[in-house]
Amino acid sequence: MHRRAAWPILFTAVLGLAQAGAAFAAGYQRHVIGDLSLPTPERPAPGLLLMGGGDRNFDALRWFLAKAGHGHVVVLRASQAGEIGEEFYREVGGVASVETFVFDDRDAASDPKILRALRRADGIFLAGGDQSRYVRFWRGTPVAAALDAHVRAGKPLGGTSAGLAMLGEYLYGAMDGGSLTSPEALSDPLGPANTIETGFLHIDALKGVVTDTHFRERGRLGRLVAFVAKAESLAGRPLIGLGVDEDAAVAVEADGSARVYATAPGAGATLVRGGFAERQAEDEPMKLSRVETIGIDANSRLHLPEGRVERPPFQRGYAVRDGVLVALDAPMLVLHGGAGVERAGMTPADEAAARAALEAALRAGHARLKAGAPAMDAVTAAVTVLEDAPQFNAGRGAVFTHDGRNELDASVMDGATGKAGAVAGVHRVRNPLQLARTVMERSNHVMMVGDGAEAFAKSQGIGLVDPSWFRTEKRWQQLQQALKEEASAQAANVPLVLPGKAYFGTVGALALDAAGHLAAGTSTGGMTNKRYGRVGDSPIIGAGTWADARCAVSGTGWGEFYIRGASAHEICARVRLAGTPLRRAADAVINRDIPKAGGDGGAIALGADGSVAFPFNTEGMYRGWIGADGVPHVAIYREDALAMPVP
């Protein structure tokens, strides 16, 4: 008798646990946290929350939950479980309950329990995941109709990552199971991989809008341009694109005005103005003479759906040339003076002199860009200043070989034409990079070495100097110390093991001109106490120097490893072939691949879209950049603050 009476109590307890945790039904999972029976504290208000995919943007989520009247939120997703509900309820707080439904198939979109939950929800939030599942599971179903009805009823709707991608009138569905990169999208914007969908939701504030997420972090400007182009081909009218950075969220009020909540400096959103003049063709790379973009940050006010922006942090023009996105009217110069800098070997006077030389080189290159000169002119001007400065291991500051000589190497590459020039082992050329450029422009060759290169220099009127021009006392004493260490090792009959820093000391510059063309140049004095005509990576195209239509790199470090890995080319190849954002590609090669192989060093990288990277794995690297405003930014050590340009 007592055992039979216990069954209702046990059943009630189990039901309560399911209510507080997870329940499973055909086609979906259900997770509940909080009390569904509580009244909603405040009246819900309309609003849209467009989150870029990052975590813990609590200010934005508090805005959303306030719009939901701090009542009952329903989360919809098509993968994972109820984690986001836990975050809403326990970490953000201020909400009566969060009910999460995880869909496994399309049939669940007609489930009465889900539809009842959507009807009574004070706010609905679409989580991230695979957006193709959302399209397949929800488009044309009662769930999609319920979402539209929710917005019409004046209640808030939010989304993050894939959930944000679902909200625009036109959306990228990723229907082939992949995730399109910018290079892939621009290579064939009307092709089958660019799966633009419509007819999903019908939200007035996002009519004519295509959205994208994880925007700047994953280099998605190019693909958003392609999304807009294909969507316009379907719509037959101008549209706009809205890309939201991973560390940002756009909160849209009932009147369409919107502000940005950001959790990292510089995070925000970018608006791509559509109405493209040129029509695209399937199976052909994109060609656009100009596309305008507008930045949106925490100080801006965005108005949707028209796309008007008050107080934008930037307005930039781009072109797309044979599938390559290039920045227009935004000249940029970046440079390095070598990795391997150590505080122990520097005095305050040394640091001041190095910074002054870096700034002078930046200004010299910028003057050429400002005058409308091509990128190669800016590279030449900047590197010439560094070669003439004794602070760097190039030109006048070159180190000495075992025989007490200076052997100089340099190379250049023009991204617009693919042409290149290099010299190695020269002794009397004051500015080796100028000779490398002359090899590129006035000969049928790519590389010349030693006496032959100097004979060519003389025939071309390139300045030759007495070798004493390159002698500095600091470099001479470095050779004497190296010779002592070598003699000690020989006397002890032990091999001389050189530290990685023995291979450091190079200068380089990269430029992006106003026409969106790139160029690269690198110059070095080699390594102290080297023998046998050793040549490092600096004059080797693809190892220490590379430039193409979308990417330019100059390396500095243990050259043997840069040669083996074709490191400069490898960075740009990852950008071109894998669609990897420039900074991520540069970091992977310099800070993972090279150290894994046994080397170290650094590099500078510059994208045609204006993106910049300064990866290095030593205590310091002389580095800097200058943009269209003409203000030089320089740094030496890793902990030095260096403001980064925003592409």
Q: Give catalytic residue positions.
A: 506
131-138 and 142-152 helices, crossing angle to 10°: 100
Name residue, tokens 């030095």: 640
Exposure string of 232-264, with b = 16+ CB inside 10 Å and e = fewer, is bbebeeebbbbbbbbbbbbbbbeebebbbbbbe
What separation in angstroms does the CA of 31 have from each of 17, 28, 133, 206, 404? 11, 10, 19, 30, 75
DSSP state of 107: G
DSSP state of 498: -
| Helices and strands in the chain: count of H runs, count of E runs | 18, 31
Grouping H, G, I as helix, E, B as strand and the rest as coil, residue 385 is helix
Contact predicate 341/636, CB 8 Å = yes
Contact predicate 387/431, CB 8 Å = yes
Grouping H, G, I as helix, E, B as strand and the rest as coil, residue 429 is strand
Phi and psi (nearest 5°) for 296? -135, 120
Task: Report DSSP letters for 7-65, one per residue.
Answer: HHHHHHHHHHHHHHSEEEETTEEEEEEE-TTSPPSS-----EEEE-S-S--HHHHHHHH
- Give the contacts of 84 (CB within 8 A, at least 6 positions apart): 75, 77, 98, 100, 125, 127
**Amino acid occupying residue 434:** Q
Give the strand pairing for 157-160 and 123-126: parallel
Q: Per DSSP, what are the bridge partners of residue 198?
A: 170
Task: Report DSSP letters for 568-587, one per residue.
Answer: HHHHHHHHHHH---HHHHHH
By the 10 Å C-beta count (0-12 exposed, 13-18 middle, 19+ buried), 194 is classed as: buried
Query: Two tokens at 494?
Result: 């032990």
What gap in Å lies between CA 507 and CA 503, rounded to an integer? 13
